[in-house]
Structure formats: C-alpha cells, structure tokens
Amino acid sequence: MPEDILTKVRVRFAPSPTGYPHLGNIRTALFNWLFARHYGGSFILRIEDTDVARRVEGAVETILESLRWLRLDWDEGPYFQSQRLEIYREIADQLLKQEYAYLCYCSPQRLESMRREQMKQKQPPKYDRYCRELTQKQKIELEATGIIPVVRFKTPLEGQTTFYDLIRGEVTFDNSVLDDFVLLKSDGYPTYHLANITDDHLMAISHILRADEWLSSTPRHVLLYQALGWNPPQFAHLPMILGPDRAKLSKRHGATALLDYRERGYLPEAMINFLSLLGWSLDDRTELLSREEIIKHFSLERISKTAAIFNKEKLDWMSGVYLRRLATEEFTKQALPFLDRDLPASVKRPLDLDYVGQIMPLIQERARTFADVSELNQFFFIDELEYNANLLLNAGLGAEVAIKALQTVLPRLALIKTWGAMVLETLVRPMAEELGLETGKFFGLLRVAITGRTAAPPLFQTMAVLGKRRCSRRLRAALDKLFSIVGQ
C-alpha cells in the first residue's frame, strides 16, 4: 500500500439493526478494525437503520455489546442514518435536477406483476424502466392520483462499469445487466445504495472492506460516485465464510449470533484469533496469534480470494488453548458465573470459593469453554451419583472381582488419618498387585465409583478434594450397586 495514504486510513463498520450480529458481520468489523489499527487510522461505527420495516428491537444494543465484548473500540460514532434523512433527500434532489435520476410512480402491484411475468419468461427480475421517459403530462396525471413516487437512478443503458478491488483486482460489469435501482423510497427513507455512498463520502471513508456478497452492488455505487462527481473509496471484498460442507454458513454448522459464544463460555481473545483466520493468514502454519501480533501483521495482501471454512472443532481447540493459558486464579474467577448458572439447583449457593479453588486446577486442562466446566466437575458438587452398571463393569473385572476390590479398599481408607493425594496413592496403588489386578483396570473401577465417570481428573487428586466422608459414601454406594447386579 502506498506510503502517502497510510495516515489517511478511515474505515467503517456499518451494520443494519435488522438482526443480531453473527460471525460474518463481526468478521467484517474485525478486519476493518485490524486494518485501521495496523495503519494508525480511524475505525468508524455507523448504524444503517433506514430499513424501518425490518428493524429488530434490541439489535443496536446487541451490536454495540458484541463489539465491546471483543474490545473492538471505535474512534467515531455510532452514527445513525435515521438522523440524517435530510442529507439523503438533498442528494436525491441533486441527482434529479442533473437528470441522473427520475421519479417512478409504479405501484407495488405493478412491480410484483412485472416480476412474475419476468420469472415466467425466465428473465432476471429487474425494473422495466416504465417511468424513465415519462412526459411532463404523464407525470402530472400520475401525481394527481396521489401516488407518492420513489426516486430511481438512471443507469446507463450501454457500456461497462469497471472498478479495482484490492483483493480481486479489476472487476467489470456490463451496464446492461444493472437495473434502475431505487435511491429514495416513498416513505422518504433512502435505500442502502444512496445512504451508503453518501455517508462514505461525507465521512471521508478511504477504504471499504465488506463482505463478498456486496460485490454486485459496487458497480451501482461507482456509477453514483461518478454522477455526483465524487472520488470513490478503495474497495476490498472479503471472502465468504462457508460451512465444512461448503454450503452457506448457518446455525446447523454451529454458527449463531456472536454473543451466543460469550454465553457458551468462549474467551474473546480466542474468538479474535479464530475470526482473524477466517480469510486471512500470517503464513501457512501459524494458528495461535495474540491481538497485538495480528494487528502488527495484518494486511489485505494476505486475505484469500477463496471462501473461508468455518470449523467449530478448530474453534473449540483454540478456545481450550486460551483457557489453559490463564492463571488458575483468573480461570477460577471467570468460571464462577458459569458454575453458578449451570450447576444443578440442588447445589447449595453461594458456592464455597475455597472448595471451587481446589477443583479448578484439576479441570482447567480439560475445559474447552467455560460452559464445559459445570459438566466436567458436577460430580464434585452433587451428593448422590447415579451409577451406570455397565460403567462399573467397563474395566472388564466382572461383578464379583469388582466387589472384592471395593471391599478391600473401603476399610483401608477408613484407617487414613491425614487425607491427601500422596497418602492415598501410597496406600491404594499396591492394592492392585495384592488383588492380582491390572493397575489401569483397578483405578478405572475406583474412578467410576468415585465420580460416576470413566474420564475424570487424576484419581487421587480428585479423591483428596472430595474428602474422606464423601469418597467412602460413594464407594459403599457403588458396592451396593454391584451387589444388586450379582443378585439379579
């Protein structure tokens, strides 16, 4: 990128509050923010809220909260297009006076009938320019009916419109495939096309980084810039995000509104790292990058032309890495709200912080998100376990052998005066040889008896935290379960 524009970088994130921001929206915001921060430019937030009919209650607040959660701070805004309607009206009037636009009186019924006929003829649906060359007399007659017209752009009927995309290179559209698009609706609100280019010009936006789906709108915008005598910003259309099956990203791929990931316990830094690699890369191998490293190396040259693939397994792996990097005290602090939310209602609140502090070091290595924590350590908090008979016999010991093993362990544990992991291991480990059992199978039986699971944190550390009384009670309950199996 030429050095003379590095100090002039001004980019914007311009979401519409017609829904809650999802991964694609936020990836666009992130790339704009990274671009601005890399070049020391400005990141502007603009809410494009002119589609009144589709506006969703609470969407604006969710957009702002999503950016705050990821710490994508904005330098200006938020600006709201609904507060700038007079500006768009003036621009539309200017285009009408210069005959780059015209009034269209077609009713919604006529437009719908026209579209149906075009579809029947297997033609691409677009406006047939019925009102483009109306006489003054026809206009007067139509206005007398009380119809409030829209303003349409007078797209050139011939030639081509070419622009340069910083990712895709030169792009050309035949003007014949473009329609006479609406600039100003009958309710006085602008369409995306008019409001977008007006604000980008007046806010001195230098670069537009937006989703690939807007590529087909760009020739319309270029024509508008030309008609108004404005220099357009530089364009960069970001690759789509697809699911693993290369279909359009959807909820079935695990992609939902961004703040859902916060509710599921993902760290914002993990999300930043993951989203930055959806279409951009430092090289062909580096996957873990800090926010500062991404800012330092971010450039449009490293953005791919091909679609990015959303991989939830990779996100979960990356999230687990970031959780393990936290100091145990910080991990515990951030895990507490999820424990309070997700542990069964039967668990006494408030939670014992000292007890939680003993558990967390055992859990941290295995958690992928904070939402995993409750499931991973629920057995630490509940009083009674529901034993699965198949799990108790999963080690292949047989019910009678398992009964003998537990009957041997229980009285030995009762003799322990100082309950701790090292003492437990010193006492219990030799019992495997004494009983003629493989250590792995013996420990597997004890693990299920103590936790109700085949996979759990290290056995003796877990027993140390649970305490002598609870461990003994559970071993007796497991023994009763095995006796019931034998008696069947």
Specify the pLDDT at position 398.
87
Q: Is 248 a catalytic residue?
A: no
As a whole number, the mean pLDDT across the chain is 94
Catalytic residue (one of 251, 296, 305, 314): 251
CATH 1.10.10.350 boundaries in the chain: 389-486
Among 254, 374, 236, 396, CA closest to 305: 236
Q: What is the pLDDT of residues 71-81, one digit of tens each?
A: 999 999 999 99
Pick from 2-11, 282-291, 366-375: least confident: 2-11
CA 138 to CA 238: how far, in whole Å? 45
pLDDT value at residue 395? 65
| CATH code 1.10.10.350 for 389-486 | yes
Where are the strands (E) in 212-365, listed by range?
234-238, 241-242, 308-309
Residue carrying the six token digits 């009957």: 407
pTM value?
0.91
Band of residue 4 on the pLDDT scale cut at 50, 70, 90: very low
Mean pLDDT of 148-161: 97
Look up residue 243 and give its DSSP letter.
-
- Quick one: pLDDT at residue 396? 74
Q: Does position 272 have pLDDT exceeding 90, yes or no?
A: yes
Q: Which pLDDT score is estimated for 488? A: 55
- CA–CA separation, 475 and 445 (whole Å): 10
Give the torsion through C-alpha atoms of 378, 380, 385, 391, to 10 deg. Answer: 80
| Tens-digit pLDDT profile for residues 450-487 | 999 999 999 999 999 999 999 999 999 999 999 988 77
Across 11-25, average pLDDT = 94
**What was the pLDDT predicted at 245?**
86
Tens digits of per-residue pLDDT, 243-267? 888 888 877 776 689 999 999 999 9
- Nearest C-alpha neighbor of 97 from the set 230, 226, 228: 228
Scanning 347-458, the segments in alpha helix (DSSP H) are 353-363, 371-377, 389-392, 399-414, 421-435, 439-451
pLDDT exceeds 70 at position 1: no
**Size of the chain, expressed as the number of residues it contains:** 488
Q: Which secondary-structure segment (H or E) carries 150?
A: strand 150-153
Does pLDDT of 126 surpass 50? yes
The pLDDT of residue 164 is 98
Chain CA centroid to CA 460, Å: 39
Give the model's pLDDT for residue 17.
95
DSSP code of 479?
H
Q: State the average pLDDT over residues 163-192.
A: 96
- The CATH superfamily assigned to 85-238 is HUPs (3.40.50.620)
Q: Which residues of the chain form CATH 3.40.50.620? A: 85-238
- pLDDT tens-place string over residues 363-406: 999 999 999 999 999 999 998 898 888 888 876 788 999 999 99
The residues of the chain that CATH labels 1.10.1160.10 are 258-377
Domain topology for 258-377: Glutamyl-tRNA Synthetase; domain 2 (1.10.1160)
pLDDT in tens, 113-124: 999 999 998 888
